Amino acid sequence: MRNLLAFSILFLFLPVSAPSQSAGNASAFGYANFSAQSKIETQFLAVPSARLAGEELKSLTAQPHMAATPEDHRTANYVAKRFRAAGLETEIVPYRVLLNWPKVVRVEAYDPAGHLLMTGPTREHVHGDPYQNNPHVVMPFNGSSGSGDVTAEVVYANYGRLQDFNKLADLHIDLHGKIVICRYGSNFRGVKVYLAEQRGAVGVLLYSDPRDDGYYKGDPWPLGPWRPATGVQRGSVQYLFKYPGDPETPGVASTLNLPVSNRVSPYGSQPHIISIPLSYHDAAPILEALRGPGVPQGWQGALPFRYHVGPGGVRVHLVSRQDYQRRIIWDVIGTVPGTQYPNDWVIVGNHRDAWVYGAVDPSSGTAALLEAAHGIGALLRSGWRPKRTILFCSWDAEEEGLIGSTEWVEQHAKALDHAVAYFNVDVAVSGPDFSASAVPSLKGFIRGIASSVSSPLGGTVYQQWRNSQIHRNEQKTPNIPPAGADQIRVGGLGSGSDFTPFLQHVGVPSTDIGSEGPYGVYHSVFDNFAWYTQNADPHFLYLQEMARILGLEALRMADADVLPYDYAAYAHEIGAYIEAAKSKATQAGLKSLNFAPAAAAAARMATAGEKVRDREMAASGDLVGLNQALRRTEEAFISPAGLPGRPWYRHVIYAPGEFTGYSAVDIPGVNEAIDAKNASLAAQQLDVLTQSLDRATNALDSAR
């Protein structure tokens, strides 16, 4: 699901030592004696195969496999077969969830004289693509779109961000009864529809502008990796910032035997207006015909004419008939029982469903997951068993709203109190540049893993990761500050993939990894095996790399003597968030807010974290009690009441933004109250934050 072009997050830079935690080294954080573990890790790293990963990717992408289709069920059986071959205890877990499939999707544009300007959506096609004509390719549509038949004038809203809609208001352009057209990028597509609906629009057209992922970036497919003229980005417009998962069962698992009486109206989580995705081939006649003011600075795309805001010059007729039914989806769970701490779960996950073929999103991640399981299976055959239970999870219906993972988390919420980590991979490989996001306590952990795996480019993944960041900094990429000699960026976790329910609903420490490159065919028919082998990873070496990293995350966490969390680093980041919120409050005129108690609580947590880190380094004494205290620390950030206005999200440090969707808002209760200039709510949320920090400190103090 995650749109990397729209995935902007706050990055904090923390100094780390030079890479020293390779599988052959004598020590690793969390281990009293790493030598035996190092041999196991070396044995594991030799197993994941580039050739097999490529074969798995080809099998997974043989047919389109949208959630709940027969082709999707076949991929579930394929993954289950591969898990069982690796020696995992495997089950296919079904859920019954509300999904829409398109019956009719039509767009017609007319000039003032009634002449037809365009009709669509046009079938996606280029010369020579071997996969585009498959009859199972679903027409372009939006998951969670409303149904209806409307005709109205059009207004262009740039990226459909809050500031874009506010600019239209400044221009005295009334959106009531209008159809909004906006380009993909900068925020989650569901937010674009949410804001348009709030402003009175009756429909939304979403299109991919060539400035953002088409010919303005480089050669389009099939000459290069960028989006061709007819390429369309499908996607869900569910209001994920309210809650993800089955829209009828927030907080409750939508099992097959769940009574209908336990379901609720999905009114709060889904749009009521029509939304339809378009290619820039289909959007161009509408945009070219628009009149009204010329667009503000920064709103001009790359189509070869001057953009106008509208309204005027064009009327559009939208027809959307969506077939909403409760349909069955299938998660696949493969388990390796732990020998010492069987209730402490290490969970590795990737979604399997795709809008069409999904070679990059998500099948590259599924191939990496399967090869990681292959490596663990080889260890099992040699007699090794993990200390903690490892679960390999293939989620379904992620594209429609993180549904498979959310339903599973809601079903197992109590057991997940003991889960020690969730390791996610989604868009695993679109190119050679490794990236990672994590909770602050696991940023050092993922750096150590990256320094333990060799890169196809030579050296370690860590070294290439650092080189890539330095190169991007030299290219003056926005929002990436200069990197020092021993600094490497690890992002924060927002939303848009399956770590969301684990971290933000039940508080399981999480990471998310990927390997990035030019990727213009996101959610289109062209994200297929041919595009992948030409542009992303011709020899599947990066699939092998990702399998090694993903499996090594699970292996090292499962066997650690001490859970390798760094809560001193976590507390320092929270302290920076509090200072940033204080500055924002001052700028917003909320000068009466008292940030001192929260800042003092973060400082106390940092002190406690530093003292506990000494015990972690020694890895001696009552390790069971130490690990329990460490796990309770992340749990301290879960607020039973949830966030104001969206109680499903319960993490007081991280949540997706109401007006961003994918990217994280840190200390969201506080920051969103400041954005709303609600001083009393901001003060109340500062109290909630302070209490959470104190609970975290008490958990750390109990370990000393």
Residue type, 76: A
Alpha-carbon gap, residue 567 to 446, rounded angstroms:
15
CA distances to 65, 430, 484 from 540, rounded to whole Å, are 22, 11, 32
Residue 140 makes CB contacts below 8 A (sequence gap 6+) with: 105, 121, 124, 232, 234, 276, 277, 278, 279
Alpha-carbon gap, residue 536 to 515, rounded angstroms:
9
Q: Phi, psi at residue 106, to the nearest 5°?
A: -145, 140
Alpha-carbon gap, residue 656 to 671, rounded angstroms:
12
Strand-strand pairing, 388-395 and 142-143: unpaired
- What value, to the nearest 5°, has the Cα angle with vertex 399 and ends 393 and 402? 55
Residue 235 makes CB contacts below 8 A (sequence gap 6+) with: 1, 3, 142, 143, 189, 277, 355, 399, 523
- What value, to the nearest 5°, has the Cα angle with vertex 133 and ends 128 and 134? 130
* Active-site position among 41, 398, 516, 658: 398
Is there a catalytic annotation at residue 610? no
The alpha carbons of the chain give a radius of gyration, in whole angstroms, of 25
- What value, to the nearest 5°, has the Cα angle with vertex 413 and ends 341 and 639? 110
> 299, 284, 323: which is closest to 205 by C-alpha?
284
Alpha-carbon gap, residue 74 to 89, rounded angstroms:
19
Q: At what angle do helices 541-559 and 50-60 cross, to 10 degrees?
A: 100
List helix spans (H) across 497-622.
Answer: 499-504, 529-531, 541-559, 567-587, 596-618
Determine the distance from the C-alpha atom of residue 295 to the mean position of all C-alpha atoms in its chain, rounded to a whole number. Answer: 31
> Which residues are the active-site residues?
398
